[in-house]
Amino acid sequence: MAFLGQEEQLREFQDRFKFLYAALFIGLGILLVRLVDLQVLRGDRMRQFSEENRIKRVKIASPRGMIFDRNRKLLIDNHPAFDLEVIPQYLRESKRTDSVIRMISELLKMPESDLRRTLEKARGQPSFIPVKVKTDLTRDEVAVIESWKIAMPGVQIAEEIKRTNIYGDIGAHLLGYIGEVNSVELPLLNKTGQNQYKLGDSVGKFGLEQRMENTLRGADGEKLVEVDALGRTKLDKRAGRMLDGLPEKTPVPGKNIVLSIDQDLQQAAVEAFGEKVGSLVAIDPRNGEILAMVSRPSFDPTAFSRGIPAELWGKLLSNESKPLGDKTIQDHYPPGSTFKVVTAIAGLEEGVIDENTRVHCSGKIAMGNRSYHCHNKKGHGDVNVVSALTQSCDIFFYRVAQRLKSVNDIAKWATHMGLGRRTGVNLAREVPGLIPTEEWKLKRFKQPWNAGETLSVAIGQSYVLVTALQLANLYASIGNGGTLYQPHMLRSIESTDGQVEQEISGEVADRADLSPKTRDLIMQGLWGVVNAPGGTAASQRLPGMDFVGKTGTVQVIRIAEDKIYQKCDGMKFRDRHHGVFAGFAPAKNPVIAIAVIAEHACSGSRGAAPIARAVVKKYLEKYFPDIYGEKAIAARLKAQNGAPTSLAESPEEINLDTYGDELPVVGPAEVTDGTAPPKNSNEPADTRKQEDH
Partner 1 sequence: MHSSMESQTPLFESNSRVGMYEEELKRFNWTLIILELMIFGVGIWNLHSATTVDDKSLGLYRSQIIWFTIGLSITALSLLLHYSILSRVAYFVYFANILLLVAVLVLGKSSLGARRWIGFGGFRIQPSEFMKISMVICLAKYFETDRTVGGYGLKDLILPSMLVAVPALLIMMQPDLGTAMIILLTYGSMMMFIKIRPQTLLILGLIAATAMPIMYKYGLKPYQRQRIVSFIDPLSDPKGSGYNSIQSMIAVGSGQIVGKGYKQGTQSQLNFLPEHHTDFIFSVFSEEHGFVGCVILLILYLVFLSNALSISYQSNDKFGLLLSLGITTIFFWHVFVNMGMVMGLLPIVGVPLPFMSYGGSALITATAGVAILTNIANKKFMF
Residue 155: CB atoms within 10 A of its CB come to 23
Q: Closest Cα partner for 163 from 252, 249, 254?
A: 254
Give the one residue of 213, 226, 520, 546 binding partner 1; rule: CB under 8 A. 226
Burial tier of 606 (Cβ tally within 10 Å: 0-12, 13-18, 19+)? buried
Query: DSSP labels for 554-607?
Result: E-SS---GGGTTS-GGGS-GGGSPEEEEEEEESSSS-SEEEEEEEET-S-IIII
Q: Which residues pair with 294 in a beta bridge?
A: 280
CA distance 7 to 591: 123
Long-range contacts of 635-639 (CB under 8 A, 24+ apart): 636/544, 637/543, 637/544
Task: With contacts defined by CB under 8 A, name the span among 10-18, 214-222, 517-525, 610-618 that binds partner 1.
Answer: 10-18
Binding mask 87-106 for partner 1 (x = CB under 8 A): --------------------
Q: Which of residues 33-52 bind partner 1 (CB under 8 A)?
A: 34-36, 38-40, 42-47, 49-51
Q: Which residues pair with 551 in a beta bridge?
A: 581
Q: Does 368 bind partner 1 (CB under 8 A)?
A: no
Q: Closest Cα partner for 549 from 530, 534, 533?
A: 530
CA distance 531 to 390: 9
Task: With contacts defined by CB under 8 A, name the span among 2-10, 186-194, 463-471, 487-495 that binds partner 1.
Answer: 2-10
CA distance 330 to 427: 10
Q: Which of residues 114-133 bind partner 1 (CB under 8 A)?
A: 126-127
- Give the shortest CB-199-to-partner 1 separation in angstroms: 18
Q: Which of residues 53-82 bind partner 1 (CB under 8 A)?
A: 53-54
Choice between 51 and 248, CB closer to partner 1? 51
Beta strands in 4-147 (DSSP E): 55-60, 67-68, 74-86, 131-134
Q: Does 237 bind partner 1 (CB under 8 A)?
A: no
Task: With contacts defined by CB under 8 A, name the span among 9-17, 260-268, 527-535, 597-605 that binds partner 1.
Answer: 9-17
Q: Does 31 bind partner 1 (CB under 8 A)?
A: yes
**What SS3 state is found at 294?**
strand
Choice between 125 and 147, CB closer to partner 1? 125
Binding mask 238-267 for partner 1 (x = CB under 8 A): ----x-------------------------
- Give the shortest CB-182-to-partner 1 separation in angstroms: 24
Give the one residue of 151, 229, 442, 639 binding partner 1; rule: CB under 8 A. 229
Choice between 39 and 190, CB closer to partner 1? 39
Choice between 29 and 625, CB closer to partner 1? 29
Alpha helices by DSSP H, 284-323: 310-318
CA–CA distance from 329 to each of 267, 292, 295, 490 (Å)?
Answer: 19, 13, 9, 17
- Give the shortest CB-26-to-partner 1 separation in angstroms: 10
Q: Does 317 bind partner 1 (CB under 8 A)?
A: no
Task: With contacts defined by CB under 8 A, name the span among 17-25, 256-264, 578-586, 672-680 that binds partner 1.
Answer: 17-25
CA distance 403 to 397: 10
Choice between 123 and 446, CB closer to partner 1? 123
Task: With contacts defined by CB under 8 A, name the span among 105-113, 227-235, 546-554, 666-674 that binds partner 1.
Answer: 227-235
Choice between 17 and 652, CB closer to partner 1? 17
- Give the shortest CB-133-to-partner 1 separation in angstroms: 21
Choice between 53 and 99, CB closer to partner 1? 53
Alpha helices by DSSP H, 153-262: 172-175, 185-192, 207-211, 213-216, 237-242
Task: With contacts defined by CB under 8 A, name the span among 16-24, 108-116, 292-300, 461-469 that binds partner 1.
Answer: 16-24
Give the one residue of 157, 230, 316, 324 binding partner 1; rule: CB under 8 A. 230
Choice between 43 and 200, CB closer to partner 1? 43
Q: Which of residues 276-315 bind partner 1 (CB under 8 A)?
A: none
β 131-134/290-296 pair status: unpaired
CA distance 616 to 277: 19
φ, ψ of residue 339 to 5 degrees: the values are -80, -15
Choice between 92 and 444, CB closer to partner 1? 92
How many residues make contact with partner 1 (CB under 8 A)? 47
CA distance 60 to 225: 11
- Give the shortest CB-252-to-partner 1 separation in angstroms: 31
CA distance 287 to 65: 26
- Give the shortest CB-198-to-partner 1 separation in angstroms: 20
Task: With contacts defined by CB under 8 A, name the span among 32-40, 133-141, 372-380, 651-659 that binds partner 1.
Answer: 32-40
Are 472 and 590 a contacting pair, CB within 8 Å?
no
CA distance 603 to 626: 34
Q: Does 451 bind partner 1 (CB under 8 A)?
A: no
CA distance 154 to 142: 15
Question: What is the SS3 assignment for 652-681?
Answer: CCCCHHHHCCCCCCCCHHHHHHCCCCCCCC
Give the one residue of 3, 497, 567, 652 binding partner 1; rule: CB under 8 A. 3
Choice between 52 and 562, CB closer to partner 1? 52
CA distance 230 to 88: 11
| Cis bond upstream, residue 253 (ω within 30) | no
Give the one residue of 58, 144, 219, 227 binding partner 1; rule: CB under 8 A. 227
Are 552 and 645 a contacting pair, CB within 8 Å?
no
Q: Closest Cα partner for 434 from 455, 450, 410?
A: 410
Give the one residue of 27, 187, 424, 651 binding partner 1; rule: CB under 8 A. 27
CA distance 234 to 232: 6
Helical (H) or strand (E) element with 203: strand 202-204
Q: Does 187 bind partner 1 (CB under 8 A)?
A: no
Give the one residue of 104, 167, 234, 545 binding partner 1; rule: CB under 8 A. 234
- Give the shortest CB-226-to-partner 1 separation in angstroms: 7
Give the one residue of 120, 159, 228, 271 binding partner 1; rule: CB under 8 A. 228
Choice between 16 and 191, CB closer to partner 1? 16
**What SS3 state is found at 113?**
helix
- Give the shortest CB-56-to-partner 1 separation in angstroms: 11
Give the one residue of 10, 635, 639, 669 binding partner 1; rule: CB under 8 A. 10
- Give the shortest CB-92-to-partner 1 separation in angstroms: 11
Alpha helices by DSSP H, 423-567: 438-445, 451-458, 468-479, 516-531
Choice between 36 and 634, CB closer to partner 1? 36
Q: Does 13 bind partner 1 (CB under 8 A)?
A: yes
Are 64 and 218 a contacting pair, CB within 8 Å?
yes
Helix, strand counts (H, E) of the chain: 26, 22
Give the binding site for partner 1 (CB under 8 A): 1-4, 6, 9-10, 13-14, 16-17, 20-21, 23-25, 27-28, 30-32, 34-36, 38-40, 42-47, 49-51, 53-54, 126-127, 226-230, 234, 242
